[in-house]
Amino acid sequence: MVKAFIDPEKCLKCIECEASKSCAINAIFSIDPDEPKIVEVKICRGCGDCIPRCKGKAIELVES
């Protein structure tokens, strides 16, 4: 099954993470706002809705 992966090198650490807001199940989060966002792979459904919303083009779907 595919899951979203956020490349930490590409994540811009946006104050308003549009990718996170686009995720219906809130699978994208950060522990610290100064850190790149991460995906909770246990709940990610691999729908890809977050990908076009990411300002840094940091998200891709990977086989998990």
**Binding residues for ligand SF4, per CB under 6 A?**
4, 6, 11-14, 17-20, 22-23, 25, 27-28, 37, 39, 44-50, 54-56, 58
Q: Please identify, using beta-carbon distances, which residue of 17 and 31 lies nearer to ligand SF4.
A: 17
Q: Which H/E stretch holds residue 19?
A: helix 18-22
With contact defined as beta carbons under 8 Å apart, do 4 and 51 qualify? yes
DSSP single-letter state for residue 32: S
Q: How far is the CB of 51 from ligand SF4 (least distance, A)?
A: 7
3 state DSSP class of 59 = strand
Q: How far is the CB of 63 from ligand SF4 (least distance, A)?
A: 13
